[in-house]
Amino acid sequence: MTLTINGKVSDSIRAATVQELLDELKIAPVRVAVEVNLTVVRKAEYGTFPIRDGDVIEIVNFVAGG
Amino acid sequence: MEDKLVIRGIEFRSRLWVGTGKYKDFDETKRAIEASGADVVTVAVRRTNITDRKTENLLDYLDPGKYKILPNTAGCYTVEDALRYSRLAREAGVSDLIKLEVIGDDKTLFPDVIGLLKATEILAKEGFIVLPYTNDDPIMAKRLVDAGASAVMPLAAPIGSGLGIRNPYNMKIIIEQATVPIIVDAGVGTASDVAIAMELGCDAVLLNTAIAGAKDPIAMAEAMKHGVIAGRLAYKAGRIPKKLYATASSPFDGML
């Protein structure tokens, strides 16, 4: 499966859902937001929202800013 | 008497809000914010570092019970981007607050008010508490409120410029006609600038560079805290009118 995550192409991910993806990347879901193919995924849907070959995924968090 | 700022039912302890950008490190950020007394801190939304999970996060340094996190859409030049960042921010955070920026130009960082108005309208309908960063234009301030803004954040001067309030008369008009809180955002340089903003009657001041860029950010944070308090008290106290000639403060009676 080939995914684009935060602008980088990856073919090592095996996750079937957003939750599994975050687990695999060792990212705690609480402080991030995830977008799959420009759709923001609600936290409640992480366990069911599917990850498919070719998906473009963005994982963001808060950083210092004014 | 209590003099709290309230926006859409959310109570704020402090009328000074601060950004978290441009500090030397997270420890300095934390100490400056503490010294400022602010209870609102702004943050930006950016990609998570997915390769190095040991990278420290700002939020590890800020007690979520102590501070309200206000995400911004800094760096967004289009309505679409501003909407996208806002929606991500809401999902990453815990509230509907958004400091909405639609930037028009990278040299001035002045807002693109046409895009700002559109984005405000859309996000307000989606239930966001929209705080738009706008120009010091009284008509635009009204239009933003009509579009659903919960507060309006006119700039004092360009972001990071330190020029202070360049158009106090416009700011006064914005404040006088306001039906929502007015928060001066960006462009102040020192404590007297924030005192002037508060004396004009604005409800709060949001700043970042003036503290983070000072030689001693912690001391400047404290100065800003006092500037806001002094300005607010002076506004509430009601200053004397300005006039051209003197009025003696000592009596003539009893003079030799």
- ipTM of predicted complex: 0.95
Mutant choice from B91, B95, B209, B224 vs A, greatest count of A C-beta within 10 A: B91
Contact B22 A62 (CB under 8 A): no
Q: From chain A, pick out residues whose CB is under 8 angstroms from the CB of B57.
A: 31, 61-63
What is the C-alpha to C-alpha distance for residues B28 and B66, in angstroms, rounded to an integer? 17
Distance (Å) from the alpha carbon of A60 to chain B's nearest alpha carbon: 4
Contact present, B16 and B204 (Cβ < 8 Å): yes
Q: Is residue B1 predicted with pLDDT exceeding 60?
A: no
Asked if A62 and B92 come within 8 Å (Cβ–Cβ), the reply is: yes
Q: Decide: B96 and B86 in contact? Cβ < 8 Å.
A: no
B118 is known as an active-site residue: no
CB pairs under 8 A between A and B: 100
With an 8 Å Cβ cutoff, the interface of chain B facing chain A consists of 19-23, 26, 29, 42-48, 50, 53, 57-59, 69, 71-72, 74, 84, 87-93, 159-160, 186, 207-209, 212
The residue of chain B with its CA nearest to that of A26 is B53
**Amino acid identity of B51?**
T
pLDDT of the residue at B10: 95
Shortest alpha-carbon distance between residue A48 and chain B (Å) = 16
CA distance B232 to B202: 8
Torsional sign, CA B13, B171, B77, A37: positive
Predicted pLDDT at B254: 94
- pTM for this prediction: 0.93
Kind and range of the H or E run holding B103: none
Buried b (16+ CB within 10 A) or exposed e, B89-117: bbbbbeebbbbbbbbbeeeebbbbbebbb
The answer to whether residue B55 scores a pLDDT higher than 70 is yes
CB contact under 8 A, B92 and A59: no
Task: Report the interhelical angle of B26-36 vs B217-237 (nearest 10°).
Answer: 20
Q: Looking at residue B94, what is its pLDDT?
A: 83
A43 and B CB contact within 8 Å = yes
C-alpha to C-alpha distance for B82 and B99, rounded to whole angstroms: 10
What average pLDDT does the segment A16-40 reach?
94
Return mean pLDDT, chain B: 95
